């Protein structure tokens, strides 16, 4: 057994162990007692929506949040126009709702974090939501998320992030990824190990921000930093899978790469900043979840790179072999049949395939859970095969680019 085979088997073992841990944590969470607000106890809530040139989506976003079933006397919407050059400000001002407060900044803040912080400073709610200008929420999402703040240790609550308008191959890959995240985020919450509070829609306890500060404006992933800050102070981050929040996918390869480069670059910097969290002192988050996440990234890069180059080498080797036996390449049918036979032989003779099939089964369980919680069916028969065909290669490529920027460039831009 060579080195790379050892690495592959280690990857499989860690994957199975981590998956078992997450599933058992998820099942145990059902028995965990939860403190939840009753309707009469619901506190005042502020929803902050920063926007820069979002004329295409802002009306739908405002309509969805003002259609919330949250008590209107306890809800305010703070729209921050961050010096948009389109009709974002005009649309917001003309939106007919008494609970929407519009603020205009004459000069662009330079970052979403800065614009959000301006909105936070205007908020009067005990609970403050951060919401993207292209996010759509279910009418029950606010109430369901706010209920968790009954527990005084809870400083943030995350929703079920789902993609809408899924069109094209890349969007289908992201769709399955987001659905997987729905299950994993709940499993992480069961052991207080959530380390990302999605900027698209997350609720925070205002008193935490007043004591420990608002978003870090120079941070490229301010939502991730805030989650780690909450964890570093010994507080809780909860998750509400029954609270859907819909966002749009990245449709082009470039846009998706830019997004993931920012995410992963920010992950690297924030994990370095909060490296003290990687300790048994911080429970399962520091002792298991973050170390496994980091180790999995390294293994994924090694294994995916090896398998990619091995595939190219094997194809070349097969073609050379066919030439030595004077194979008739003019017969497309015979060539394709031979390739299928060889592929099936390698497939059934490789023990790793059994583990892959097990992971497929687990993934389907994740997706079934996501569908059940959201109450909607998705095109899984199409999306899952596309996900398995492309995600590993994309994931490795995104990380290689992000590591290059982290090591050699030292910074990334938002877009």
Give the separation between CA 138 and CA 164, rounded to whole angstroms. Answer: 13
Domain count along the chain: 1
pLDDT, residue 355, reads 64
Q: What mean pLDDT is predicted for residues 52-76?
A: 95
Examine the pLDDT at 276 and tell me if it is beyond 90.
yes
Q: What mean pLDDT is predicted for residues 297-306?
A: 78
Farthest CA pair distance, the chain: 82
pLDDT, residue 33, reads 78
Contacts of 382 (CB under 8 A, 6+ apart): 172
Examine the pLDDT at 1 and tell me if it is beyond 60.
no
Locate 96 and state its tokens: 């007919």
In whole numbers, what is the pLDDT of the chain averaged over residues?
86
DSSP for 195-230, please give it.
----TTEEEEEHHHHHHH-S--TT-TTHHHHHHHHH
Q: Is residue 209 in some structural domain? A: yes
Examine the pLDDT at 85 and tell me if it is beyond 80.
yes
- pLDDT tier at 110 (50, 70, 90 boundaries)? confident
Give pTM, 2 decimals.
0.87
Apex 69 CA angle, 68 and 74, nearest 5: 90
Q: Answer left, alpha or beta for residue 176, where phi above 0 means left and psi between -120 and 50 means alpha.
A: alpha
* 3-class DSSP assignment, residue 150: helix
- pLDDT tier at 47 (50, 70, 90 boundaries)? very high
Name which of 60-69, 120-129, 251-260, 362-371 the model is least confident about. Answer: 362-371
pLDDT, residue 340, reads 61
**Cross-strand pairs, 80:** 50, 103
pLDDT, residue 13, reads 67
Q: Is residue 127 in some structural domain? A: no
Q: Is residue 65 in some structural domain? A: no
Examine the pLDDT at 183 and tell me if it is beyond 90.
no
Contact 145, 227 (CB under 8 A): no
pLDDT, residue 126, reads 98
- pLDDT tier at 64 (50, 70, 90 boundaries)? very high
pLDDT, residue 344, reads 60
pLDDT, residue 375, reads 65
Locate 83 and state its tokens: 């010096």
Q: Is residue 146 in some structural domain? A: no
pLDDT, residue 93, reads 95
Locate 80 and state its tokens: 């921050």
Contact 114, 414 (CB under 8 A): no
pLDDT, residue 178, reads 92
pLDDT, residue 14, reads 72
Q: Is residue 145 in some structural domain? A: no
Q: Is residue 257 in some structural domain? A: yes
Examine the pLDDT at 332 and tell me if it is beyond 60.
no
Give the separation between CA 349 and CA 352, rounded to whole angstroms. Answer: 9
Examine the pLDDT at 53 and tell me if it is beyond 70.
yes
pLDDT, residue 362, reads 72
Contact 79, 51 (CB under 8 A): yes
Q: What mean pLDDT is predicted for residues 142-158?
A: 97
Q: Is residue 285 in some structural domain? A: yes
pLDDT, residue 324, reads 78
Q: What mean pLDDT is predicted for residues 143-156?
A: 97
Q: Is residue 231 in some structural domain? A: yes
DSSP for 351-373, please give it.
THHHHHHHHHHHHHHHHHHHHHH
Examine the pLDDT at 328 and tell me if it is beyond 70.
no
Q: Which domain holds residue 347?
A: 1-33+152-415
- pLDDT tier at 297 (50, 70, 90 boundaries)? confident
Examine the pLDDT at 230 and tell me if it is beyond 80.
yes
Contacts of 267 (CB under 8 A, 6+ apart): 221, 224
Contacts of 334 (CB under 8 A, 6+ apart): 328
Contact 161, 132 (CB under 8 A): no
Give the separation between CA 198 and CA 283, rounded to whole angstroms. Answer: 22
Q: What mean pLDDT is predicted for residues 190-215?
A: 95
pLDDT, residue 233, reads 96
Instruction: Considering only residues 61 and 331, tell me which one the structure prediction assigns the higher pLDDT.
Output: 61
State the alpha helices, DSSP H only, in 252-379: 253-273, 283-284, 290-324, 332-349, 352-374
Contact 143, 72 (CB under 8 A): no
Locate 198 and state its tokens: 């999605």
- pLDDT tier at 24 (50, 70, 90 boundaries)? confident
Locate 132 and state its tokens: 């993207």
């Amino acid at each position: 057994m060579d080195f790379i085979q050892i690495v592959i088997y280690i990857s499989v073992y860690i994957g199975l162990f981590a998956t078992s841990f997450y599933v058992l944590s998820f099942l145990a969470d059902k028995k965990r007692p939860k403190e939840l607000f009753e309707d009469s106890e619901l506190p005042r809530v502020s929803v902050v929506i920063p926007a820069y040139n979002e004329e295409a989506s802002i009306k739908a976003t405002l309509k969805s949040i003002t259609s919330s079933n949250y008590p209107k006397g306890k809800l305010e919407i703070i729209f921050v126009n961050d010096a948009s050059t389109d009709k974002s400000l005009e649309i917001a001002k003309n939106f007919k709702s008494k609970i929407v407060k519009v603020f205009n900044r004459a000069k662009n803040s330079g970052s979403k974090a800065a614009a959000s912080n301006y909105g936070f400073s205007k908020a009067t709610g005990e609970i403050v939501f951060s919401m993207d200008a292209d996010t759509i929420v279910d009418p029950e999402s606010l109430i369901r998320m706010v209920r968790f703040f009954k527990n005084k240790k809870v400083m943030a609550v995350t929703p079920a992030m789902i993609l809408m308008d899924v069109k094209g191959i890349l969007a289908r890959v992201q769709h399955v990824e987001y659905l997987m995240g729905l299950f994993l985020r709940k499993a992480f919450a069961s052991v207080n190990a959530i380390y990302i509070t999605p900027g698209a829609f997350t609720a925070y306890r205002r008193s935490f921000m007043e004591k420990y500060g608002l978003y870090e404006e120079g941070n490229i992933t301010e939502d991730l930093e805030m989650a780690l800050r909450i964890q570093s102070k010994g507080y809780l981050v909860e998750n509400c899978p029954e609270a859907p929040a819909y966002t749009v996918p990245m449709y082009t390869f470039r846009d998706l790469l830019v997004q993931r480069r920012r995410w992963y670059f920010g992950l690297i910097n924030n994990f370095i900043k909060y490296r003290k969290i990687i300790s048994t002192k911080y429970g399962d988050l520091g002792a298991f979840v973050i170390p496994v996440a980091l180790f999995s990234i390294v293994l994924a890069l090694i294994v995916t790179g090896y398998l990619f180059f091995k595939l190219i080498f094997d194809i070349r080797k097969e073609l050379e072999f066919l030439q030595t036996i004077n194979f008739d390449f003019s017969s497309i049918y015979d060539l394709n049949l031979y390739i299928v036979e060889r592929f099936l032989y390698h497939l059934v003779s490789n023990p790793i395939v059994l583990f892959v099939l097990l992971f497929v089964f687990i993934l389907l369980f994740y997706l079934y859970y996501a569908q059940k919680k959201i109450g909607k069916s998705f095109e899984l028969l199409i999306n899952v095969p596309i996900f398995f065909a492309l995600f590993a290669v994309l994931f490795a490529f995104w990380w290689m680019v992000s590591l290059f920027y982290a090591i050699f460039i030292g910074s990334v831009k938002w877009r």
